[in-house]
Amino acid sequence: MYNFKNDYSEGAHMRILDKLRESNLVQQLGYGEDDYSLEAKAILRQKIANPAAEIYFLSAGTQTNLLVISCLLQSHEAVISAQSGHIYAHEAGAIEATGHRVITAETKDGKLRVADIEQILQNHTLRPHVVKPKLVYISNSTEIGTIYQLSELKALSDCCKLHGLLLFLDGARLGNALTASNNDITLAQISQLTDVFYIGATKNGALLGEAVVFNSPLLYPDFDYALKQKGALLAKGRILGIQFLELFRDNLYFELADHANRMAMKIAEAAEEIGYNFLTRSTTNQVFPILPRRTIDELHKKYLFFEWKSIDKDNSAVRLITSWATPESVVNEFITDLRSLQ
């Protein structure tokens, strides 16, 4: 059985494991002060073209989301998110647990738009009886595989500045977004257009690790305290530093994401050729073809994947996710099987 359920079913890229072994007995300072972490941060500052940025390494996406948001907001301030946003849909109330409401907008494609934000602002004027929207949360790529265009990100950024809102971009799958065929955004532009964002590695070749970037060092200078206090500071911070170092000292991070995208796109193209429709059009590493029930049942004999949404009596949309580690041979086999079932 091959598992297309998610992009964290395997371990790490072998270069990371090699580096862990090679560096293993070199003594280093703890708590993120190791040489590997310092070097990895220096490289990331270059890649985002922002020498003043403050960068921290964390272990997981939910951890990153809750730490950033809880640090940046006062108690009565709230987050604006798409209803499909990870913080609202899949984090067990992590943001509310830090004291903040998540105000959601329904979207067709997982992408938040200026009109959504402005509508929410209009609905929250009865001070002090309602929460105060203060931070906009977006994901790129989104939870359903779509990506923002530069013009869209600029519009959100302008909207936030106009209304005194902070813009926070969840980049758990940022590699997949930036290597999508229709992407027109650079890492440096993300650093310019957002207040905080992060670069996810857990889902792109690392064992664990998210690099959160505060684009202005003045935004929250005490984030180190927060890391420690919320249990997010690893004694052996070296394991995060080593991984980001390997992923970013050359282009590995983007090569891995590109591979995952291409694997998914191969499947999508084959499904389209056969004549299947899609629940949503993704250009990254998750695709949502609508398949006949019989085909789904047959495929399930060899492959694991989620049935995402029932479309009608006979058809359902499924979700297939590929990763940096998905072998092209498996994808080819899946396509062959798909064709044989039409």
Structural contact between residues 180 and 141, judged by C-beta atoms closer than 8 angstroms: yes
Site pattern 50..69 for a second copy (x: CB under 8 A): ---------xxxxxxxxx--
d(CA 68, CA 219): 11
What residues from 323 to 342 belong to the interface with a second copy (CB under 8 A)?
Answer: 325
What residues from 24 to 43 belong to the interface with a second copy (CB under 8 A)?
Answer: 24-30
Token pair for 262: 């291409």
Candidates 146, 202, 261, 286: give the one binding a second copy (CB under 8 A).
202
Structural contact between residues 317 and 288, judged by C-beta atoms closer than 8 angstroms: yes
Rule CB under 8 A: say whether 307 interacts with a second copy. Answer: no
Rule CB under 8 A: say whether 187 interacts with a second copy. Answer: no
Number of residues that bind a second copy (CB under 8 A): 76
| 3-class state of residue 278 by DSSP | strand
Q: Residues in the chain, how many?
A: 342
Structural contact between residues 196 and 215, judged by C-beta atoms closer than 8 angstroms: yes
Candidates 35, 152, 224, 298: give the one binding a second copy (CB under 8 A).
224
Candidates 46, 149, 229, 277: give the one binding a second copy (CB under 8 A).
229
Q: What is the nearest approach in angstroms of a second copy to the Cβ of residue 271?
A: 22
Long-range pairs for 278-281: beta carbons < 8 A, 24 or more residues apart: 278/317, 279/308, 279/309, 279/311, 279/317, 280/108, 280/109, 280/110, 280/144, 280/145, 280/146, 281/109, 281/146
What residues from 264 to 303 belong to the interface with a second copy (CB under 8 A)?
Answer: none
Rule CB under 8 A: say whether 230 interacts with a second copy. Answer: yes
Applying CB under 8 A, the span of 40-48, 97-105, 247-255, 313-321 interacting with a second copy comes to 97-105
Rule CB under 8 A: say whether 76 interacts with a second copy. Answer: yes
What stretches of 86-150 adopt beta strand conformation (E)? 102-105, 132-139
Rule CB under 8 A: say whether 236 interacts with a second copy. Answer: yes
What residues from 129 to 158 belong to the interface with a second copy (CB under 8 A)?
Answer: 129-132
